[in-house]
Amino acid sequence: MTKYKKAAEAVERLSPEQHYVTQQCGTEPPFDNAYWDNHEAGLYVDVVSGEPLFASIDKFDSGTGWPSFTRPVQTENVTENFDESLGMRRVEVRSVHGDSHLGHIFPDGPEEAGGMRYCINSASLRFIPVDELDIEGYGEFKKLFSETLGETK
């Protein structure tokens, strides 16, 4: 089993925007980020720890300009905290092992998929295309995409 952790070297390699978002609870601009309009099949992992967070099969277009997902790929890799900044009460999403600020959860997602919208900053994520999952050490997640790719299980 892979162990994920926050390492000082990983934090030092972050771009200024990634650092702002993940370490200072920042928010990147909508419609001006890496993955809001990404339609490629693959896995989204924490940019700091590498822990698996979201899969493209659970991604949908929320019209907000940020990547939106109906659920995490592994619930044990995300934690939720109340966030009362900006004069409103929201639920913040953080990675468990990387302790990265990811974004927020809202109850306005697709009803047929549970009704939740995980509104996530691209700067907190690293995207791994399906055809690179084995090379990157995430081969166990390929099965999630077999139906999407027309393969049999």
- CATH value at residue 45: 2.170.150.20
DSSP state of 84: -
* 148: confidence class by pLDDT, cuts 50, 70, 90: low
Dihedrals φ, ψ of 56, to 5°?
Answer: -60, -25
Q: Token match 């339609």: residue?
A: 39
Residues that are catalytic: 119
Is 44 among the domain residues? yes
Tracing tokens 């791994």 back to the chain, one arrives at 128
In a domain, 64, yes or no: yes
* Within a domain: 144: no
Query: How many helices and strands, by DSSP H and E, does the chain display?
Result: 3, 9
Any domain includes 33: yes
Q: Which domain holds residue 13?
A: 8-138
Q: Please report whether residue 122 resides in a domain.
A: yes
Query: 146 in a domain, yes or no?
Result: no
Q: What angle do CA 72, 77, 80 make, to 5 degrees?
A: 75
Query: What confidence score (pLDDT) does residue 90 get?
Result: 82
* Within-domain flag for 3: no
Task: Evaluate whether residue 1 is within a structural domain.
Answer: no
The average pLDDT across 145-149 equals 72
pLDDT at 153 (0 to 100) = 38
Question: How many Å is the maximal CA-CA distance in the chain?
Answer: 49
How many domains in the chain? 1
Mean pLDDT, the chain, integer: 92
With 90 as the cut, is the pLDDT of residue 34 above it?
yes
